[in-house]
Amino acid sequence: MFIALAPPDDAKDELARELRPALEAYPSLRWNRIEDWHITLAFLGELPVDAVPPLRAPLAELAASRPPLELGLSGGGHFDERVLWSGVDGDVAGLRLLAADVRAVVKACGIPFEDRPLNPHLTLARARRGDTGPVTGTAAALAGFTGRRWPAARLHLVGSNFGRGPGPIRYRDIESWAFTGR
């Protein structure tokens, strides 16, 4: 489970067009599905079902108190030459404040999680061990990419089917809340 922001479809399509040559050239990479692209604010890990209800009201209140953030997807990089990502630009300071507030809500609800420093990014693909060339090459090719800005309109509480059978990980919104503050 995690709490995230999701770029709108047209922003994801813009990045997908930029990635098309890499998608065709490197089918061995484990590409994330475009509909699952997200910017994680807090990774909660595997939680019991009864952990969700206490999060709903405070996350809804947090979203209602905030205006949408203006963000964009920009550039590319990699973690350990195995995980390909696109960077995030725009109101990154506001994004960091939002992540800190989201994490404070999670802590106040008594949910333990690993509070890693925020490195705003959108994960695109993973390489198999020993096959890092496609990741580093694609990250370099994305260096000049600058997508259009868009308002992050909703805060998402997301679950996955990780560990629930063969095939790719699939994400689903458990709930989401609009940013309606001024």
Q: Which two tokens stand for residue 158?
A: 């997301």
Whether residue 165 is predicted with pLDDT greater than 70 in this model: the reply is no
Q: Is there a catalytic annotation at residue 38? A: yes
Give residue 131's pLDDT: 81
Query: Closest Cα partner for 77 from 136, 36, 131, 23?
Result: 136
Q: 128 CB contacts (<8 Å, ≥6 apart)? A: 28, 30
Q: Is the pLDDT of residue 163 over 60?
A: no
83-142 confidence digits (pLDDT tens):
999 999 999 999 999 999 999 999 999 998 888 899 999 999 999 888 878 999 999 999
CB 173 within 8 A of CB 158: yes
Of the candidates 6, 15, 38, 102, the residue annotated as catalytic is 38
Rounded to 10 deg, the angle between the 92-108 and 53-64 helix axes is 150
* SS3 category, 125: strand
Q: Out of 91, 121, 125, 150, which one is annotated catalytic?
A: 121
Residue 167 pLDDT grade (very low, low, confident, very high; cuts 50, 70, 90): low
